[in-house]
Amino acid sequence: MAKKLVTFGEVMMRLSPPGYSKFAQASSLELAYGGGEANVSISCAYLGMKAAHVTRFPNNALGKAATQFLRKHWLSTEHVIYGDTMIGKYFLEKGAVHRSSEVIYEREGSSFSAIKPSMIDWEIILKDADWFHWTGITPAISEGAALCCSDAITTANRMGVKVSGDINSRDNMWNYGKTMQTVMPELVQNCDIVITSSRGIHELFGTGESKDKFRTAAEKLMDKFPKIDKVVGKTRKSVSASHQQIHGKMWNGCEYIKTETLNITPVIDRVGTGDAFAAGLIYGLLHYDTDEQALNFASAACALKHTVPGDVNLVSLDNVTSLMAGDTSGTIKR
């Protein structure tokens, strides 16, 4: 039976100038949808898992179009909530070579930001689920979103559902009177898997110094929160906007694991690559016997997302396992 993943978070409309044009050159914008957690669900659905996303959309044509986007990509939308009138947006100007990409967000006052715990019954949603995933962006959006996330994690713990959190956040997003340092510890302490960086651990929890290496920071985090089973991250070297190098890393309490570095050039679209890594990790931990295999799967999935336009990783299981096996040729599959 296929494993089931549930994710929770905002889905935004993405608007981009065609190709690699700058905003000043654009006379039209390409429209897509995406959000960190939904990107993870879609990736896992394309790998063959059952996946459901919980969110709140405006009760209008844009909300219905965003829902259809999720359905198109194999997600269950049974628990999508509707209300208010605004969908969150972000504008992306894709960089190339030595010019960086630029992102402008418009998400304040979105339908999702007004979500409340009373709108969601997590016991029904998490029935028969194997995994729940959230990111540090969601509790930063509003107090209601943070409370919903807390309820989901607590319910998942009670029901024996594994919980992963991609906890890196942005300090400038916390605009509703709470800080990430006061909200995040309660959420992270009940996770089984944490995806982060040594810098993220230091900024959120003050465990050690910001110069700590990943393993040292991960050990300190697991000492602080004993429920955490694994701390996972990736290292990225940006040779240019068009050439990236990545490798995965994990501390599982017993050993430090690191994958081989993958060279990615040219980069087609970097957005959503961290979500592809998280999805690959979830799939790998649910389907492989060893942490090393799971981490290699995550790194391969992340690398392949750089070749897919849009927010979401639409590659197949065969695509990922082929790259895992060392096939970097990109030859036509017939």
Q: Which of 79, 77, 83 is nearest to 57 (CA)?
A: 83
> pLDDT value at position 172?
77
- The token pair that represents 21 in the structure block: 């044009």
pLDDT tens digits, one per residue of 193-202: 999 999 889 8
pLDDT tens digits, one per residue of 93-132: 988 888 988 889 888 999 999 999 999 999 999 999 999 9
Residue 272 pLDDT exceeds 80: yes
Confidence tier at 171 by pLDDT (50, 70, 90):
confident
> pLDDT value at position 114?
98
**Average pLDDT value for residue range 14-26:** 93
What is the distance between the alpha carbons of residues 26 and 28, in angstroms, rounded to a whole number? 5
> pLDDT value at position 248?
97
**Average pLDDT value for residue range 27-38:** 94
> pLDDT value at position 160?
98
Residue 203 pLDDT exceeds 90: no
What residue segments make up the domains of the chain, in order of their start? 4-324
Pairing of strands 12-16, 56-57: unpaired
**Average pLDDT value for residue range 300-315:** 95
- pTM metric for this prediction: 0.93
* Cβ atoms of residues 305 and 323 within 8 Å: no
**Average pLDDT value for residue range 280-303:** 98
Pairing of strands 256-258, 243-251: antiparallel
What is the distance between the alpha carbons of residues 324 and 288, in angstroms, rounded to a whole number? 13
Confidence tier at 1 by pLDDT (50, 70, 90):
confident
Matching CATH number, 4-324, of 2.40.220.10, 3.40.50.920, 3.30.9.10, 3.40.1190.20:
3.40.1190.20
Residue 278 pLDDT exceeds 90: yes
pLDDT tens digits, one per residue of 133-155: 999 999 999 999 999 999 999 99
Confidence tier at 332 by pLDDT (50, 70, 90):
low
Confidence tier at 334 by pLDDT (50, 70, 90):
low
Percent of the chain whose predicted confidence (pLDDT) is above 70: 97
Query: To 10 degrees, the CA torsion angle through 11, 14, 20, 22?
Result: -130
What is the distance between the alpha carbons of residues 293 and 235, in angstroms, rounded to a whole number? 17
- The token pair that represents 88 in the structure block: 């969150």
> pLDDT value at position 173?
84
Please state, as a whole number, how many other Cβ atoms lie within 10 Å of the Cβ of residue 109. Answer: 12
Averaged pLDDT score across all residues of the chain? 94
